[in-house]
Amino acid sequence: MAMLADEAAGVIFDMDGVVTDTASVHAAAWKRMFDAFLEARSEATDVPVVPFDIESDYRRFVDGKPRNDGVRSFLASRGISVPEGGPEDSPDAATVQGLGLRKNRYFLEGLHETGPRPYPSTVELVHALAVEGLPSAVISSSRNAKEVLEAAGLGRLFDVRVDGVVAADLGLAGKPHPAVFREAARRMGVAVPRAAVVEDALAGVQAGRDGGFCQVIGVDRTGDPEALRRAGADTVVTDLGELELPDRTWAGRRIDGLPSALDHVGEIEVRLASRQLALFLDYDGTLTPIVDDPDRAILPESAREAIRRLAALAPLAIVSGRDLAEVRRFVGIEGIWYAGSHGFDIVSPTGERHERIPEALPTLESAERDLRPRLDPIPGARLERKRYAITAHYRQVAGDRIRDVEDAVAATAATHPGLRPTGGKKILELRPDIAWDKGRAIRWLLDTQGLDRRSVLPLYVGDDETDEDGFRAIGRPGIGIVVRGESDDRPTRALFALDRPAEVPVLLDLLREVIGRPRDRRCPGGSCDA
């Protein structure tokens, strides 16, 4: 495994060959154009034809360079000179401008036939950077970069895009000059010495080396890692799934600034092209709105049907702070996993029950007896006894009395060392003081079902502070989605957000459509490479 530089505060990705497999479409277009040109020239001059070689000529002379620079570079390698021409030239003109236009025409034809193929591991890495609070940029010499990314379902993936259109508008020199990389770093708000570059083209690696970036990561798609090292790559990988992120102080993002999961389904689809979905859902605040009376948090029928339809196609579990029996009754769907009491009490689809620490029950009963008389005098306070937790609700408590609720819970915790206080949305809880939470319950569920492997994509949807344990547990392979509540601005490890519980069944139906398609059709632009 390779490691992203610890000082990297942002990462710049080349598009062709790193984000999408459009490099093969470019190479085929270059070969088609140059071979036709060389054949016509041979007929006119009797000079033998030496066809354009994708293995050597593409990487050495055109890969990563602006289109017309590629034309000049390859023709110079053959000792051929043609007029420069102008932008008004026909694609059939034997000029630099004309040949460049002809190559672009062939590229667009090839792209229409095959579609851009995104690399799921690259999308996963960009998502992991986002969760860590690190910005990302994509660069390309292509004027078609925006269209390619959108066709691949990645139009919203990056924070910054610097493509051939931007470069032309700003007069930026093309690779191997580092100008486009430096502009991308500037737009990310990251100093060049703290930005990393990810490239597969030799010209791009050279640009990263000459630009003064903290790390140049070469992606070897051709089986020649030494060529990338000679060009200046500090690190070479064959796939970005090999690149680890360093342990560092988590910067994160705030809930109110997260993008909507509904706008990024294409990215989730790319990652599901090579993986199996495993879905985990919180209940209160996620499947139903938060209400003053928890007994009135009734699951809408639209959500129930969406869960039932998706559970027929993928492993699915409800992970809730509610008692197991209660959450099973509220959801009312057979054949799925339920984890109640924050995962202390779990039942399988076949009814097999797993209680984490039944010996804690007497301590919880004693704490309940102590806490109830402390809360009773506080208007609006309500005690809820769960099997593995004691919950003090203060949503209806006046602001100047909330401190009294906190003091009552703290005093009870102090006399019951086997319990620990935790919090949530307008609640305080006492739970068994062991290393167990929703996140550990999710890891246990994955392991128990044989789903704790790289070929599985865990996705967890939750809304509360307790759900952060779940987002943390699924880590880089997984996707966390937080349902925003009132004035939610806390830091989160979720990647995306939903604005209200009513959007959750919409997302579930979109996921069902994605995984219901044949695997080779799940990428928005065609087949994804694993």
According to the 3-state scheme, what is the secondary structure of 261-293?
Answer: HHHCHHHHHHHHCCCEEEEEECCECCCECCCCC
Nearest to 356 by CA among 401, 316, 382, 324: 324
**Burial code of 495-522, b = ≥16 C-beta within 10 A, e = fewer?**
bbbbeebebbbbbbebbbebbeeeeeeb
CA 63 to chain centre: 28
> How far apart, in Å, are the Cα atoms of 230 and each of 14, 41, 183, 235, 447?
19, 35, 25, 11, 43
Clarify whether 169 is annotated catalytic: no
Interatomic CA distance for residues 256 and 261, integer angstroms: 13
Give kind and range of the element (H or E) at residue 33: helix 22-45
> Which residues share a beta bridge with 305?
none
Active-site hit among 282, 404, 463, 467: 282
- Tokens 């639209």, residue? 302
- Tokens 């068994």, residue? 432
Provide the 3-class DSSP secondary structure of residue 364. Answer: helix
The residues, any chain, with a CB within 8 Å of residue 42's CB and separated by 6 or more, are 48, 49
> How far apart, in Å, are the Cα atoms of 342 and each of 241, 325, 336, 463?
32, 13, 17, 14
Interatomic CA distance for residues 379 and 372, integer angstroms: 13
Nearest to 278 by CA among 470, 68, 487: 470
Q: How is residue 118 written in tokens? A: 């995104």
Count each helix (H run) and each strand (E run) in the chain, helices first. 17, 22
Check: CB of residue 136 under 8 Å from CB of residue 253. Answer: no
Check: CB of residue 381 under 8 Å from CB of residue 405. Answer: yes
Interatomic CA distance for residues 430 and 423, integer angstroms: 9
| Active-site amino acid positions | 282
